Amino acid sequence: MTPTALIFDLDGVITDTAEYHYQAWQRLADEEGLPFDRAANENCRGISRRESLLVVLGGRPATEEQMQTMMARKQGYYEESLDQIGPDDLLPGVAGLLDALDAAGIPYALASASKNARPVCERLGIAGRLAALADGYSVERQKPHPDLFRFAAAGLGVAAANCLVVEDAAAGVEAALAAGMPALALGPADRFGGLLADGRVTRRDDLRDVTLDELAAAAAFDPGWHVVQSGFDPATQHHMETIFTLGNGAFATRGTFEEGYPGESALTLAHGVWDDMPIVFTELVNLPNWLRLTITIDGDDFRLDQGRVLDFQRYTDLRAGVLRRAVLWQAPNGKTVDLHFERFIAYPRRHVAAIRLLVTAVSHPCAVVVRAAIDGHVANQDLLHLNLEEQGKSGDTVWLRARTRHTQRALAVAAALSAETSADNGTERAADLCAGQPALLATADLKPGQTLQLDKLVAITTDRDPPAGHAPATGEAPASWPAPWPK
Ligand code: BG6
Ligand code: MG
């Protein structure tokens, strides 16, 4: 799969300003008598000026005023080196690659945490060739948060999932993965540690002699570890829900969409939680649907049977046990958003599951409302097995208790929601205790390029679990459960 677009980091990828940043920090550290060297500087790679200063300070206390002064001094030292930068300072391989991308009609953007990124690109003579530029002024949350790369993709007008990120920093590779993008990591393997085990990361020493075929390979899924669906086809929906089931041996959930889909078969089954009906057969009980996220974009509910699906990708990363889905969607009201979902059911903590959602405004500013619910109105093909007994809210968590109608098994589902945004005005939070569907809400007003990030953390327990205080140690199944894998 050839990437639709590339997003380049600047310092250490396009030009060697990473060295100038290091020298400026070293000068400041020497003047301040702070222990700092090249090895410590590795921790500054890719992160913001303020975060870098915290690394340089190494825990030494400083007032906000002192920090501002030190950042200004470092900036002054850095600016001294900027005068030396010119078109000859592109790192080896960069000029050839940009020419090849131009010739192939593949657009590229720059996404750097640096507030100096624009003047540096101008000095290098590449500013006019960039389809978008995201810098230290573009978003609040810097790498390793996904916001800067999502901002760049929105600027390109390309589905985030179709952008390949080129990075020299571990924090940048982490940010790319968090943004739902594959990454080409440049530099020694030990710089990236465990990130290289991710099937979406490819490493090279630098961009020398890189080919478009290599970029295509870096953007491709790993056929050994990724179960992939590219493009949305309603005709295969039921089948795909089965394929994208996740489970941990204690409970499992079919791969239905968080927002729902007409005719879907949403199903969560827990080991041993069955109901016995005199009129039919004994069966495992469909538990409350913990996936539910209702996402409203300026009044239009996100759903794939409405509006326009401009891009759709879904894959399970078998190595990590994570299901991801990326959708570029135009609402009936004409506004385009880029959504990225990640879901897992924890293996070491058998009661826990989580969903992360990123919503990025692409074409217009929009008000986004997300309702994260526990949906107790579930059945096994119209057969009700659950009596909903009680629901409520404690702190930032909503919960629902239920009992199977005939076997009288008790169970409870709880959900907590955290929300962060790159929008300057933050998010608003609320709860909605609608009967049988308790929910937490988060609202944000996003400008184009801004991202709302939501984490929904869920716990499911049943009376088959050990009593409180006898919880199994992390990674162990309780004695009453059979071994998760056949021996
Ligand atoms: C990143 C560099 O690109 O930009 C970091 O890798 C640097 O080392 C950061 O701290 C912020 O740069 P600036 O120019 O805003 O101080
Ligand atoms: Mg860099």
Residue 233 and residue 187 share a domain:
no
Residue having the nearest C-alpha atom to atom 8 of ligand 1: 45
Q: Is residue 150 part of a domain?
A: yes
Supply the Cα-derived Rg of the chain in whole angstroms. 25
- pLDDT band at residue 424 using 50, 70 and 90 as cut-offs: low
Mean pLDDT computed over 237-251 = 96
Residue 98 and residue 179 share a domain:
yes
Residue 244 and residue 182 share a domain:
no
Distance from residue 172's CA to the centre of ligand 2 (Å): 7
Burial class of residue 13 in the structure, from the number of CB atoms within 10 Å of its CB (0-12 exposed, 13-18 middle, 19+ buried): buried
Residue 437 and residue 362 share a domain:
yes
Most ligand 1 atoms within 8 A of CB, residue of 38, 47, 50 to mutate: 47
Q: Is residue 480 part of a domain?
A: no
- DSSP states of 467-483 as a string? PTT-PPPTT---TTSPP
Q: Looking at per-residue confidence, does 228 or 384 come out higher?
A: 228
DSSP state of 175: H
**Segment among 11-25, 86-100, 270-284, 404-418 with least mean pLDDT:** 270-284
The mean pLDDT of the chain is 92
120-126 contacts, C-beta under 8 A, 24 or more apart:
120/10, 120/15, 120/17, 120/82, 120/85, 121/10, 121/14, 123/82, 123/85, 123/86, 123/87, 123/89, 124/14, 124/15, 124/85, 124/86, 124/87, 124/89, 124/90, 125/86, 125/87, 126/14, 126/90, 126/98
Residue matched to tokens 């009593």: 467
Pairing state between β 226-230 and 308-317:
antiparallel
Indicate which CATH number applies to the domain containing 141. Answer: 3.40.50.1000
Whether 168 is catalytic: no
Q: Is the CB of 150 under 6 A from ligand 1?
A: no
Q: Is the CB of 52 under 6 A from ligand 1?
A: yes
Q: Is residue 386 part of a domain?
A: yes
Q: Is the CB of 202 under 6 A from ligand 1?
A: no
- pLDDT band at residue 487 using 50, 70 and 90 as cut-offs: very low
Mean pLDDT computed over 45-52 = 93
Distance from residue 21's CA to the centre of ligand 1 (Å): 7
The residue from 190, 220, 250 where one domain ends is 220
Q: Is the CB of 74 under 6 A from ligand 1?
A: no
Q: Is residue 295 part of a domain?
A: yes
**Segment among 159-173, 319-333, 397-411, 454-468 with least mean pLDDT:** 454-468
Q: Is residue 166 part of a domain?
A: yes
Mean pLDDT computed over 55-81 = 95
Whether 9 is catalytic: yes
Q: Is the CB of 360 under 6 A from ligand 1?
A: no
- pLDDT band at residue 475 using 50, 70 and 90 as cut-offs: very low
In sequence order, the 6+-apart residues with CB closer than 8 A to the CB of 126 are: 14, 90, 98
Q: Which residues surround ligand 2, an ion (CB under 5 A)?
A: 9, 11-12, 46, 168-169
Q: Is the CB of 18 under 6 A from ligand 1?
A: yes
Residue matched to tokens 């080196």: 81
- Report d(CA 100, CA 103) in Å as an integer: 5
Torsion of CA 91, 95, 97, 101, to 10 degrees: 140
Q: Is the CB of 114 under 6 A from ligand 1?
A: yes
- Nearest atom of ligand 1 to the alpha carbon of 169: 6
Residue having the nearest C-alpha atom to atom 11 of ligand 1: 114
Residue having the nearest C-alpha atom to atom 5 of ligand 1: 46
Beta-bridge mates of residue 380: 383
In the numeric block, which tokens belong to residue 310? 């401009």
Q: How many residues does the chain have?
A: 487
Residue 119 has pLDDT above 50, yes or no: yes
Say how far residue 378 (Cα) sits from the centre of its chain.
29
Residue having the nearest C-alpha atom to atom 6 of ligand 1: 46
Query: pTM, whole model, 2 decimals?
Result: 0.92
Q: Is residue 128 part of a domain?
A: yes
Domains: count for the chain: 2
Residue 285 has pLDDT above 50, yes or no: yes
Q: Is residue 347 part of a domain?
A: yes
Task: Kindly report, residue by residue over 200-217, the tens digit of the pLDDT.
Answer: 999 999 999 999 999 999
DSSP state of 362: -
Mean pLDDT computed over 273-301 = 91
Residue 69 has pLDDT above 90, yes or no: yes
Distance from residue 74's CA to the centre of ligand 1 (Å): 11
Strand blocks (E) in 161-299: 163-167, 183-186, 201-204, 226-230, 246-247, 251-253, 268-270, 274-275, 283-284, 293-297
Residue 331 and residue 368 share a domain:
yes
Q: Let me know: does 212 contact 311? Beta carbons within 8 Å.
A: no
Task: Kindly report, residue by residue over 389-404, the tens digit of the pLDDT.
Answer: 999 999 889 999 999 9
- Nearest atom of ligand 1 to the alpha carbon of 112: 3
Q: Is residue 467 part of a domain?
A: no
Indicate which CATH number applies to the domain containing 249. Answer: 2.70.98.40
Residue 456 and residue 387 share a domain:
yes
Q: Omega of the bond prior to 144 within 30 degrees of 0, cis?
A: yes
In the numeric block, which tokens belong to residue 263? 């005719």
Task: Kindly report, residue by residue over 144-179, the tens digit of the pLDDT.
Answer: 999 999 999 999 999 999 999 999 999 999 999 999
Which ligand is nearest the CA of 176, by number?
A: 2
Residue 393 and residue 268 share a domain:
yes
- pLDDT band at residue 469 using 50, 70 and 90 as cut-offs: low
Residue 177 and residue 256 share a domain:
no
Within a 10 A sphere around the Cβ of 105, how many other Cβ atoms?
A: 6
In the numeric block, which tokens belong to residue 152? 């760049």
Residue 429 has pLDDT above 90, yes or no: no
Structural domain that includes position 74: 1-220
Residue 470 has pLDDT above 80, yes or no: no
Provide the pLDDT for residue 397: 94
Residue 183 has pLDDT above 50, yes or no: yes
Provide the pLDDT for residue 281: 72
Phi, then psi, of 478 in degrees rounded to 5: -65, 155
Provide the pLDDT for residue 299: 97
Residue 478 has pLDDT above 60, yes or no: no
Residue matched to tokens 């900027």: 82
Q: Is the CB of 21 under 6 A from ligand 1?
A: yes
Provide the pLDDT for residue 244: 98
- Nearest atom of ligand 1 to the alpha carbon of 74: 16
Residue 189 and residue 236 share a domain:
no
Residue having the nearest C-alpha atom to atom 12 of ligand 1: 114
In sequence order, the 6+-apart residues with CB closer than 8 A to the CB of 89 are: 15, 16, 123, 124
Residue 120 and residue 247 share a domain:
no
Beta-bridge mates of residue 392: 399
Helix (H) or strand (E) holding 162: none
Provide the pLDDT for residue 396: 85
Q: Let me know: does 326 contact 180? Beta carbons within 8 Å.
A: yes
Provide the pLDDT for residue 479: 45
Alpha helices in 201-290 (DSSP H): 212-219, 237-243
- Nearest atom of ligand 1 to the alpha carbon of 115: 15
Picking from 187, 5, 208, the residue whose alpha carbon sits closest to that of residue 91 is 208
Provide the pLDDT for residue 486: 32
Residue 231 and residue 88 share a domain:
no
Residue 80 and residue 121 share a domain:
yes
